[in-house]
Amino acid sequence: MRTQPPGPAGVPVFGNSRQYARDPFAFLTSVTEAYGDVVRFDLGPLETYLLTNPADIERVLVSEASKFGKTDVENDAIGTLLGDGLLLSEGETWQRQRQLAQPAFSPQRVASLGEVIVRNAREMLDDWEAGEVRDIQLEMARVTVRVIVEAMFGAQLSEDQTETIQEHLEPLGRRFEPDPIRAVVPEWAPTRENREYHRSVRALEAIIDDLVAERRGTERDASVDPAAEAVGDEGQPMDLLSILLRARDRGEQSDEQLRDELMTMLLAGHDTTALALTYAWYLLSEHPEAAARVHDELEAVCGGDPPTAADARELDYLERVLQESMRLYPPVYALFREPKVDVRLGGYRIPKGSALMLSQWAVHRSGRWYRNPEAFDPDRWLPERRNERPRFAYFPFGGGPRHCIGKHLSLLEAKLILGTVAQEYELDYVRDEPFELRGSLTMHPDEPMGMRIRPRTE
């Protein structure tokens, strides 16, 4: 029996990193089809093992999660951006911060945010005009960043702040695109890309500092919480910023830790939802029969009124559309873990300190787990069909102890924004050919996602 997993041959120094950087999605698809459950390759100096069997993924994320830690595949840049926030922290720090943040994401509080989400979606629609073409990715990013700041910071972004955030997201994204040369260039090197990256980090930190300054002194005033129905037992606001400010007053949170958590929430809290919506709009545009079913369901459930959090629980087909969109186009297309000890997965020994890649892209599009995997079929998420597949054949939000803390907020937000827009408009993708994808920390379209706005009354 082989002791080392199979995989593609690499070249000296760079390994397979050039192939991966050229098109990470084609690379992941090809090696999965060629080599099976465990694939070994080198991303430059990083020995990497791709896992594509849901049973192995479940072990890493859930049943044996204590054997695996986070790994940094982008040298120090992501640490500069997110610091010791929830996404990157480990051990006792992560456990303390996760427990501290959890009340901001309680089911009661998330449900109370429905009006905030719908109001922001309708304000976006106030700027739209029938017949115009909008880059729907930018539109979705704009509305989701405003929602996350109001929901989790208890504040509202100004137009200038919103534009500044959108302006600086592109340099941040470029910094994390696969690049074998960048991997060996230190973060402190004064390259143009590094300078732009650090300038963008400073710009976002300045916005966060302004929001914190605005909220200081109000962290015990329940009226500032946009989810006022879900305030704490002592009548205190439970938005994330209020919780962190109170923890800081108790000496449980430094200014640096507070900023790290807010930066993590600002970026991770809106980007994945915006991308899920972007891909859902594209797929509905390409499948008018599915769009018609969404409209019919909205009419049956909402009767022409704006959707509510209670309505969202009844929008079953719309939820299946979002699930299928995240299967075909998972915003987070790969997770990384590092074994703390030597482990055995798929019959192979995986050494301590190597990188494990768990790829949603590779697993979600595998013919082993999905019939006709390239097809858009929301009804594959009907309970009887869903139960045919292993649990971790689908994991857009990760899994186990470190699953995405904002999963339920993201799903509610996506359903209410999609429902609010779809009640008034249909969106038609304007290009004749499909879009290309580029990898960063998340999976983005590589060109503007222009869509023509068409009123439903036409």
User: pLDDT digits over 250-299, tens only?
Assistant: 998 888 999 999 988 988 889 999 999 999 999 999 999 999 999 999 99
Q: Which residues of 148-169 are buried (b: 16+ CB within 10 A; e: fewer)?
A: bbbbbbbbebeeebbebbeebb
Token representation of residue 193: 């890309």
Per-residue confidence band for 409, with pLDDT thresholds at 50, 70 and 90: very high
Q: What is the pLDDT of residue 223?
A: 82
Q: Residue 1: is its pLDDT beyond 70? A: no
Q: At 18, list the tokens.
A: 């050039």
Q: Which long-range contacts (CB under 8 A, 24 or more apart) does 62-69 make?
A: 62/399, 62/400, 62/401, 64/343, 65/400, 65/401, 65/402, 67/339, 67/340, 67/341, 67/343, 68/337, 68/338, 68/339, 68/340, 68/343, 68/356, 69/337, 69/338, 69/340
**Is 183 a residue whose pLDDT tops 70?**
no
Given a contact cutoff of 8 angstroms between Cβ atoms, the answer to whether 314 and 301 are in contact is yes
pLDDT value at position 169?
83
Residue closest to 335 by CA, chosen among 31, 73, 15: 73
In this predicted structure, the answer to whether residue 17 has a pLDDT above a threshold of 80 is yes
pLDDT confidence of residue 44: 77
Phi, then psi, of 308 in degrees rounded to 5? -120, 175
Nearest CA-CA partner of 225 in 365, 399, 104: 104
Residue 329 confidence (pLDDT): 98
H or E element that contains 35 = helix 24-35
Most distant CA atoms of the chain, gap in Å: 65
**Per-residue pLDDT tens digits for 84-93:** 777 778 888 8
- What's the pLDDT tens digit per position in 30-56? 999 999 999 999 987 788 999 999 999
Supply the pLDDT for residue 458.
Answer: 47
Q: Is the pLDDT confidence value at 76 over 80?
A: no
The answer to whether 186 and 75 have CB atoms below 8 angstroms apart is yes
* Average pLDDT over every residue of 92-120: 93
For residue 307, is pLDDT > 50?
yes
Using alpha carbons, select from 117, 210, 203 the residue that is nearest to residue 165.
Answer: 203
Instruction: Please tell me the predicted confidence (pLDDT) of residue 310.
Output: 96
CB 41 within 8 A of CB 15: yes
pLDDT at 172: 80
Closest CA to 315 of 176, 395, 416, 413: 416
Cα–Cα dist 130/57, whole Å: 46
- Give 319's contacts (C-beta < 8 A, 6+ positions apart): 381, 411, 415
Q: Dump pLDDT digits (tens) for 197-243.
A: 889 889 999 999 999 999 999 999 888 888 766 666 677 899 999 99
This prediction's pTM? 0.93
Cross-strand partners of 68: 339
Instruction: Report how far residue 383's alpha carbon sits from residue 313's, in angstroms, rounded to the nearest whole number.
Output: 15
Quote the mean pLDDT of the chain.
91
Contacts 24+ apart (CB under 8 A), 228-235: 228/112, 229/108, 229/112, 230/106, 230/108, 230/109, 230/111, 230/112, 232/103
Q: Is the pLDDT of residue 173 over 90?
A: no
Q: Please identify which residue in the block is written with the tokens 């137009």.
A: 159
The pLDDT of residue 242:
94
* Amino acid (1-letter code) at residue 278: T
**CA–CA gap between residue 209 and residue 203 (Å, rounded):** 10
Residue environment code for 311-330, b if the CB has 16+ CB neighbours within 10 A, otherwise e: bbeebebbbbbbbbbbbbbb
pLDDT digits (tens, 9 = 90+) for 360-402: 999 999 999 999 999 999 999 999 999 999 999 999 999 998 8
Residues in the chain: 458
Q: Pick the more confident residue, 215 or 192.
A: 215
Residue 119 has φ and ψ, to the nearest 5°, of: -60, -45
Q: Is the pLDDT of residue 74 over 70?
A: no
> Sign of the CA dihedral 359, 360, 365, 371?
positive
Domains of the chain: 17-455 (1.10.630.10)
Average pLDDT over residues 107-130: 96
